[in-house]
Structure formats: structure tokens, C-alpha cells
Amino acid sequence: MLGLVLAAVGVYGVMSYSVAQRTREIGIRMAVGAASGQVVRLVVMQGASLVVLGAGIGLAGALAASRLVRGMLYGGSALDPLTFIGVPLVLLGVAMLAIWIPARRAATVDPMVALRTD
């Protein structure tokens, strides 16, 4: 559970920072007519692509490491399908929630305030 919380906080922090860095861009998009749904979709898709890439790399690393750990396990399989399917799905769900919060905040950016910040 602690690892899950740390992963969620990390993803939230990275996405929140990314949205803060792109405030001017998001303000310009909204000033020229982008709907808040489009802004949310933009931020969520950016974050989701990073999360899916990270999950893929993590699964590949876990599969490679399972060969090394196989001899140390007692009474269990190194390639447990529930673990290799369930854990990434839970992490993806938590990451999507952590991405959605900054995305909703980005959709409420006032274009005039965003353009004046520089």
C-alpha cells in the first residue's frame, strides 16, 4: 500500500508540475476557443501515455527479474498471472486519478490570468 501511495503522489507531482509549466499554453488554447473538455483530454492523454510507457517498461523488467527470483520462491510461481495483470491495472487506475486532478485544474485556467503571468 505504501508503494501505491508513493506512486500516486509521484505521478500527481509530475503532472501538477507539467500543468503548471504549461499554464501559458493552456491559457492560449482556451483564449482561441478550446473547450475545457479538450484541455482535460490533452492533459490526460499526455499523462496516460507516460504511465502506459512506464507500466510497459516495468512489466518487462519484472518479467526479466522473475527469472532471477524463481529459485528463491517457496510455494509460489515467479510468473503469477494475477500479480502480472492485477498490479499494473491497479497502478494504472491510481495513476489516472492522479492525472485527472491536475487536468481538471488546468481546465479552469482563466486565459487572461494565464497570459499575464509572464
- The widest CA-to-CA distance across the chain, in whole angstroms, is 62
Q: What CA–CA distances, in Å, run from 60 to 36, 64, 66?
A: 36, 6, 10
First and final C-alpha spacing in the chain: 41
Asked if pLDDT for residue 114 goes beyond 80, the answer is no
Count of CB atoms situated within 10 Å of the CB of 93: 11
What does the domain layout of the chain look like in residue ranges?
2-116
- pLDDT digits over 32-58, tens only? 888 889 988 988 898 889 889 988 998
**With contact defined as beta carbons under 8 Å apart, do 98 and 89 qualify?**
no
What's the CA gap between 110 and 20, in Å, rounded? 13
Q: How far apart are CA 76 and CA 108, in angstroms?
A: 49
Measured CA distances, 50 to 10, 15, 30 (Å):
13, 10, 24
Task: Enter the pTM of the model.
Answer: 0.74
- Each residue of 65-110: pLDDT tens digit? 887 777 776 666 667 788 788 888 888 888 888 888 888 888 888 8
